[in-house]
Amino acid sequence: MQRKKLVVGNWKMHGGKGFIEALLAELKGRGPWPSDVAVCPPALYLPQCEQLLASTPIAWGAQDVSAHNGQGAYTGEISATMLKEFGARYAIVGHSERRSYHAENDQLVAAKAKAALAQDLTPIVCVGETRAEREAGHTEAVVQRQLGTLIRNLGARIGEVVVAYEPVWAIGTGLTASPEQAQDVHARLRQQLLAATPAAAQMRILYGGSVKPDNAAQLFAQPDIDGGLIGGAALKAADFDAICRA
C-alpha cells in the first residue's frame, strides 16, 4: 500500500488575524490536493484556523504541546487536551528551534509526544543534526539516538507518530540536503522504525529544511520521503500550493 504524502506548514512565529484570513482564503481556493495538507499556526490563532478551515481538506495543528496533560500549575504551557478542544489534529514536537532555544532534550520530546498521543493528536516528531555534527560524520548517530529515545518511551504506539527529518543546517538557511542525502537518512530512520514495529512500513517520514516549489518534486520522489514540514514557503499560498502538488 502506497503511503499518501503529507505536507505540513509550520508558520513559526508569523501571522496576524488579517494575514491568516487572507492566506487561508487563497489556499482554500486552490485545493484540494493529492497530498494530505495541514497548517500549524502560533497557538493563539488555532481558534481562527478552526473557524476558517472547518469542512475543508486542510487540517490544523500546534507547533508545540506540553508534556503535562489536562490542567495544572504550569504557567505558559498548553496541553494536548486544550489543543484537542480546538480541533487540532497534529502537534509538532522537538523542532530544532525548541531543542536549541528552549533546551528541550530527547526525553522531554518523547514525553511531549506521549502526551499528544494520549489525546489522539498525531505528534510530528522532529529529528536532525547540526552542521558540525554532519561534518564530523555523526548524522546517523545523532538521529538514531533521538529516534531511539522516542521508540523506547512510546513502545507499541510508535507506529502512530509522524517523523520529520530536518537537518538543522538546512532550516531557514537556504541550504537543502540533496534528494540523495535526505533519502539516505530517511531510509536509515525507516530501518530503525521497522526494527521496532511492522507499522513502520506505513509511517510517514517527512523532510524539512528549505523545501521550495523548485526542489519539492525531487525530494518527494525519493522512496522514503513522504512529504514535507515546510517553513517559509508555507507563508505564501502559491508556493505552498505548488509544494502540496509536488
Q: Show binding-site residues.
A: 10-12, 172, 210, 231-232
Angle at 191 between CA 219 and CA 119, to 5 degrees: 85
Q: Which residues are documented as binding site for substrate?
A: 10-12, 172, 210, 231-232
Query: Is the link from the previous residue into 47 a cis peptide, with omega within 30 of 0?
Result: no
Q: Indicate the DSSP class of residue 57.
A: S
Q: Count CB atoms within 10 A of the CB of residue 22.
A: 12
Say how far residue 47 (Cα) sits from the centre of its chain: 20
- In the residue annotation, 102 being an active-site residue is answered as no
- Name the catalytic one among 95, 97, 104, 186: 95
Element at 80 (helix H, strand E): helix 80-85
List C-alpha distances in Å: 89 to 8, 198, 210. Answer: 11, 24, 24
Q: Torsions phi, psi of 209, nearest 5?
A: 150, 85
The CA distance from 96 to 229, in Å, is 12
Give residues with Cβ within 8 angstroms of 162, minimum separation 6: 6, 90, 122, 123, 124, 125, 203, 204, 205, 206
- Name the catalytic one among 85, 166, 180, 186: 166
Angle at 19 between CA 84 and CA 173, to 5 degrees: 85
- In the residue annotation, 166 being an active-site residue is answered as yes
Q: Hey, what's the cell of 205?
A: 517520514
* Positions marked active-site: 95, 166
